Chains A and B, each alone.
Chain A
C-alpha cells in the first residue's frame, strides 16, 4: 500500500513497519483483539510484534488529533457530513499523514490505490459483508455494487426484506449458480433460433437460457461499450443482472474481453463512490480515496498528491488550488477564460467618458476629445472638461486642477472593478509564470549543484540545500498564486488586512529566496551563500506554513466574507 505525504522531505523511513501495517490493514478492526491471542501463542516474528504494538498507539494519535479538526471543519453541516464520513468502510480507511504524529491543519487524509489494490479493496469489502448477509459471494458483490457500496442501507434493507432487496437489485432469490449446459432437446435460443440437444447454452439463475455464442456476443458488446456489473439478462423486462461468476464463465478464454471487463468493474467501483476519484493526470492509473464530503468543500481545500506526482484538489479535480476553496477557484478560472484578454486590452487602450461612461479608444488626433455618444468635450490627458483648456491643444498642464481631479474620480465603478481585477490577475499570472520559470530553474540548479560538488569538493548531501530551496520556491509560488484569487473575492475588512500581511510577508520572502537561488554569485562566498539560502529557505517555509494554517482555520471559522 502506498503511503504518501505531501511534504517531500518527510517521507517515512521505517519501511518495514509500514509494509506490515498495510498488509494487514483490512483485518485490523476485526482481528485486533484476536491477534492478542495469536501473538502470545506464536511470538516468533518480531515484525508482527511491532505491527501489533505500534498500531493501537498510532490509531490513538490519529484520533487525538482528529476531534478539533473535525469540529472546526464540519461543524456547519454536521448532519450531512456524518453519513459521508463515517459511512461504509470508515473503519478500513486509514489516514496517511498521521504517521508524522500531528497532522498540519491544511492537510487532509487520503490514500492512493493502484488498480490491483482497488481490486483487493473490493474483495475485502465483499469478504467482510459475505458473512453478514449470508449470501453467496456473487450475490454479495452484486448487492454491494447496486447499493453503490453503501453497506449500512444495504444491511438495513436486506435484514428487513431479503427477497425484495435481492429482486430490486437484480439478484436471483434462490441464488442458484449459473452454468453452461447442453443436451436439452427442447432448448431453443430465442436470439439465433438454433435448437436441439447439441446446442450449448448458458443457464443463469433467472432461467432465461440462450446459446453460449449469442450470450457471449451480447455480453462482449456491452463490455466493449464500457458496462460491467449493470449488464442485464437479454430478455426484455427481466431485471436480473449477469453476475461476475456468469460473466467470467462466458468470457473464459477471451483474455481481451475479460481484461476489459475487469477494468470496467474497477472503474465503476471508483466512479460509483463519492470517496474515490481517479487521478486526473493523463494516462495515470491511480485512484485516490479521501473522506472530505461535498458539503465541506466551501471551507476545506482537500489537496491530494498522486504517486505520479500530480498534485490536485480532491473536490474538483483541478490542479492544486490551496488556499482558495473550490467554488472560488472555479469562478476565477471561468472569469479568466472570459475576461483577462479583453479586459487588459480595454485597460491599456481605452478610457471612459467621464459623463456618460462610454468606453472610448483614442486612435489618433489631438487631446481634445468629443464623446460620440453624449458630445461631451474633454481632455484625454487629464480627463477634465475641455472648456477650461483654452487653446493648449497639444499639451495639458492642468492634471492637478480641481475640476480635472473630480472628473477622474468620477470614473465609473466598472472601471474601478476592472482595475481591481487586473491588479489581482497580474499578480496571479506573475506567480504562475514564475512557477514555470522555477521548473526551469530546477534544471540549472542541478547543474550548479554538480559544479559546486566538483569545484569545492563538497559531498552530494552538502549541496542539497539548493534543490530544497527550489522545491520550497515552487510550492510557495503555487500557494501565492491562489492567495490572490482568495483576496479578489474577499470583502475588505480588518481580517482581510491580516490575511494580506501574511500574504505579503510570504511574497517578499519568496522573492528574496528566488533572487538568492537565481544569482548566487552576487551574494559573496559559497559558505556565506549556503548559510543564507538555508536560512531563507527555512524562513520562507515557516511563512508558508503560517499562511496556510491561518487560511485553513480562517475558512473553517468563516473569518472572511466573500463577494457573491
Chain B
C-alpha cells in the first residue's frame, strides 16, 4: 500500500543509497519499511572514533509531519543518551521540521557525538564527567566503543 509516508520513506532510502553522508548507513527492514536499522560510525578526533553504533528508527504514518522514534541499539556512554538508548535531541522533539529526512536525522545524531550538550543531560554521570573529569569520560566512552565491535 502506498501512502505519503511510505512514498517519502522510499525516497529517503534512495537518497541515502545514492548520496550517503560520511560515516552513516541505514536501511529499512526487508519486510517492514516503517522500521529502519542504521549505523553511525564514531566521528574521527572524538572519543567515539572507530565505534560502530547501531540505531533503530521507528516510523509511523504521521511521518514526515511528526518525527520517528529513534533509539540506540548499542550501548553508548553519552551525556544526551538515556540508559535505554533513547536520546534527547531537539530536532526529534520540538524543533522537528517535516523537511528533515532520515539522512538529516542521522547526521544530526552524528554531530551530537561530536558536540555533546551537557546542559540538558539525559545521562547525568556522563554529563558530569564530561564537564569535570574529561579523562575519565574518555575512558568510559572508549569502553562502549570497544563493546560496539562485538
Binding site for B on A (CB under 8 A): 190-193, 214, 217-218, 221, 234-236
Q: Let me know if B11 and A218 touch, CB within 8 A.
A: no
The residue from B64, B66, B91, B95 contacting A191, defined by CB atoms under 8 A apart: B64
Q: Is the interface of B mostly helix, strand, loop or mixed?
A: loop
Contacting residues, chain A, for B100 (C-beta < 8 A):
236
Tell me the nearest residue of chain A to B104, going by C-beta: A236
20 residue pairs bridging A and B, Cβ less than 8 Å apart: A190-B99, A191-B64, A191-B99, A192-B4, A192-B8, A192-B64, A193-B7, A193-B8, A217-B65, A217-B98, A218-B98, A221-B66, A234-B98, A234-B99, A235-B97, A235-B99, A236-B95, A236-B97, A236-B99, A236-B100
The residue from B11, B66, B98 contacting A214, defined by CB atoms under 8 A apart: B98
Binding site for A on B (CB under 8 A): 4, 7-8, 11, 64-66, 91, 95, 97-100
A217 CB → nearest B CB, Å = 5
Leading 5 A-B pairs by shortest Cβ distance = A191-B98, A236-B97, A190-B99, A193-B11, A234-B97
| Assembly CA distance A235 to B100 (angstroms) | 9
| Assembly CA distance A214 to B4 (angstroms) | 10
| Assembly CA distance A218 to B95 (angstroms) | 13
A-B contacts counted at CB < 8 A amount to 29
| Assembly CA distance A234 to B97 (angstroms) | 6
Contacting residues, chain A, for B8 (C-beta < 8 A):
191-193
| Assembly CA distance A353 to B65 (angstroms) | 69
Tell me the nearest residue of chain A to B7, going by C-beta: A192
Tell me the nearest residue of chain B to A217, going by C-beta: B65
| Assembly CA distance A192 to B11 (angstroms) | 9
Contacting residues, chain A, for B11 (C-beta < 8 A):
193
Contacting residues, chain A, for B65 (C-beta < 8 A):
217-218, 221
| Assembly CA distance A234 to B8 (angstroms) | 16
Contacting residues, chain B, for A214 (C-beta < 8 A):
98
Tell me the nearest residue of chain B to A236, going by C-beta: B97
Contacting residues, chain A, for B66 (C-beta < 8 A):
221
Contacting residues, chain B, for A193 (C-beta < 8 A):
7-8, 11
| Assembly CA distance A192 to B8 (angstroms) | 6
Tell me the nearest residue of chain A to B97, going by C-beta: A236
Contacting residues, chain B, for A190 (C-beta < 8 A):
99
| Assembly CA distance A193 to B8 (angstroms) | 7
| Assembly CA distance A221 to B67 (angstroms) | 13
B91 CB → nearest A CB, Å = 8
Contacting residues, chain B, for A221 (C-beta < 8 A):
65-66
Further pairs besides A191-B98, A221-B66: 14, Cβ < 8 Å = A190-B99, A191-B99, A192-B4, A192-B7, A192-B8, A193-B11, A217-B65, A221-B65, A234-B98, A234-B99, A235-B97, A236-B95, A236-B99, A236-B100
| Assembly CA distance A234 to B65 (angstroms) | 10
B93 CB → nearest A CB, Å = 13
